[in-house]
Amino acid sequence: MATGRYRTGFGLMTVYLVLVGLIVTMATAFRGALLSLAVQPSWLEALTVSIATVALIWSIVILWSFWLVRPSGAGHNLNLAVAGALCVLVIAPSAYAARVAYLSHDVVTSVFSATSTTPVIAQDPWKGASRVNILLAGADAAPNRVGVRTDSVTVASIDTATGATTLFGLPRNLQRIMLPEGPARDRFPYGFTGEPPATPGLLNEIYQYAEDYPEMVPGVKAGERGATLLKQTISDILGIRVSYYAMVDMAGFAEIIDAMGGVRITIKEPITYGRYGEGLLPAGTRKLSGEDALWFGRSRTNSDDYVRMSRQKCLLNAVAQQADPVTLLNSFENLATATKRAISTDIPADLLPALVDLGQKVKGTHIKSLQFVPPLINTAYPDWHLIKRKVSEALEAKPAVTRRTASRPLTTPSPSPSDNAISLDEVC
């Protein structure tokens, strides 16, 4: 403008204002759509290239403008420094944004499978299903024992229209489990018994057993056999089709929470942990580190598996509610690294946009929980018909979908189980 190039100046100004307006509009009015685009590899690639291109062009405009004005004398060096600083101010945040886009692309392509077995239709990604059921498993591997044990088994049943969610928790010590029809049932016609006397034949052994014995799940490759058999088994137990699974390594879960900056929990009663009870989580509301949060969910000292299951549900609930985009963006690189290392899943990448949209609905509901633990269920001799009936009753209930009160504290639940699905707000 100062050199008389009004057409070029107005053109650049118009482009700048359009870009600013577009960014503000997308970040406010179309935030949900923006989150959906953020998990699509093709859009992430395009975003990375676009950010780099805009930063390059913008820097060229700054340097070109400086060259056109070409101040001389004492002001030359100062103006040159200003032009350089402006270029840095443009390039630095653009480089960071491009790296976030690149890391997002890397996480999506590394953790999630490329495509669904059947095409995902944008207008109806759930193919008319009223609910989607996802198995959430916590894998506890340790140097002093062989294989992986799924010590935490939860199925999240989500209403695809409203986001209303019920968590069904199965104890790790569930016994005499009937495996799906086929080779697995043929091997254990009267219920899963593991390899006695080395193993007692519990629910948490099924994943590793399938990995160790390929004939249990013929035609499925290593690394997927355990999850496949576990999904089929849980589907039969609950009487609902489990479509997908997500398994997190427990140590990796601690890394994810640390990457979030911790998770805020209210501990109602002091929790001791460690082989000899040497650790202590005192009562009160505080932000727990990843290690402390892991002990909050794992400790059985002075309690039992069932109290631990309740705490795990509360911990999952707290993480889901506190993992807002701003918090995650602040430590995105650490979170991306922890996620790739800790999580395995069969959720296809092309379903992620729909899952993100559904996740936004879930955050606005009261999550309910139903745990199949004593006295409701005898883990040694489970009443399979009762489990299916309770699941059916819980899913047939039509609770009102209301907003969660953000300030409501999270506390350790009562160890007494309920026969009916209860809101986690009532126990956490």
Q: Please, are residues 290 and 258 in contact by the beta-carbon 8 Å criterion?
A: yes
> Which residues are CB-neighbours of 396 under 8 A, at least 6 positions away?
none
CATH number belonging to the domain at 131-426, selected among 1.10.510.10, 1.10.540.10, 3.30.420.10, 3.40.630.190? 3.40.630.190
- The predicted structure's pLDDT at residue 271: 86
- The predicted structure's pLDDT at residue 305: 77
The confidence band for 411, taking pLDDT boundaries of 50, 70 and 90, is very low
Q: Is the pLDDT of residue 331 over 70?
A: yes
- The predicted structure's pLDDT at residue 121: 64
The string of pLDDT tens digits covering residues 195-244 is: 888 788 999 999 999 999 999 999 999 989 999 999 999 999 999 999 99
For 184-204, b where at least 16 C-beta lie within 10 A, e where not — what string? bbeebeeebbbeeeebebbbb
- The predicted structure's pLDDT at residue 272: 85
Q: Is the pLDDT of residue 424 over 80?
A: no
Most confident of the following: 45-59, 165-179, 304-318: 165-179
Most confident of the following: 66-75, 201-210, 286-295, 352-361: 201-210
Of the given ranges (124-128, 382-386, 389-393), which has the lowest mean pLDDT? 124-128
Q: Is the pLDDT of residue 405 over 50?
A: no
- CA–CA dist 177, 406 (Å, integer): 40
Looking at per-residue confidence, does 333 or 222 come out higher? 222
Pairing of strands 244-249, 131-142: parallel
Looking at per-residue confidence, does 165 or 340 come out higher? 165
Integer-rounded Cα Rg, in Å, for the chain is 26
- Please give the structure tokens belonging to residue 60: 């060229």
- CA–CA dist 147, 140 (Å, integer): 9
Mean pLDDT of 151-156: 91
The confidence band for 427, taking pLDDT boundaries of 50, 70 and 90, is low
Mean pLDDT of 47-66: 90
Nearest to 318 by CA among 413, 209, 240, 181: 413
- The predicted structure's pLDDT at residue 146: 62
The confidence band for 115, taking pLDDT boundaries of 50, 70 and 90, is low
Share of the chain above pLDDT 90, in %: 36
Length of the chain: 428
Give the residue carrying structure tokens 């946009």.
Answer: 353
Residue 139: how many CA atoms within 13 Å on its side-chain side? 23
- CA–CA dist 339, 191 (Å, integer): 35
Mean pLDDT of 408-414: 39
Nearest to 267 by CA among 258, 255, 280, 250: 280
Of the given ranges (19-28, 185-194, 325-334), which has the lowest mean pLDDT? 325-334
- CA–CA dist 157, 241 (Å, integer): 10
- CA–CA dist 14, 16 (Å, integer): 5
- The predicted structure's pLDDT at residue 10: 92
- The predicted structure's pLDDT at residue 327: 66
Q: Is the pLDDT of residue 399 over 70?
A: no
The string of pLDDT tens digits covering residues 253-271 is: 888 888 888 999 988 888 8
- The predicted structure's pLDDT at residue 57: 92
Looking at per-residue confidence, does 134 or 148 come out higher? 134
- Please give the structure tokens belonging to residue 6: 């009004």
> Could you tell me the sign of the dihedral formed by the alpha carbons of 201, 202, 203, 207, in that order?
negative
- The predicted structure's pLDDT at residue 415: 41
Q: Where are any strands of DSSP class E within 107-194? A: 131-142, 145-159, 165-170
* Cβ atoms within 10 Å of 408's Cβ, excluding its own: 11
* pTM recorded for the entire structure: 0.76
Q: Please, are residues 368 and 401 in contact by the beta-carbon 8 Å criterion?
A: no
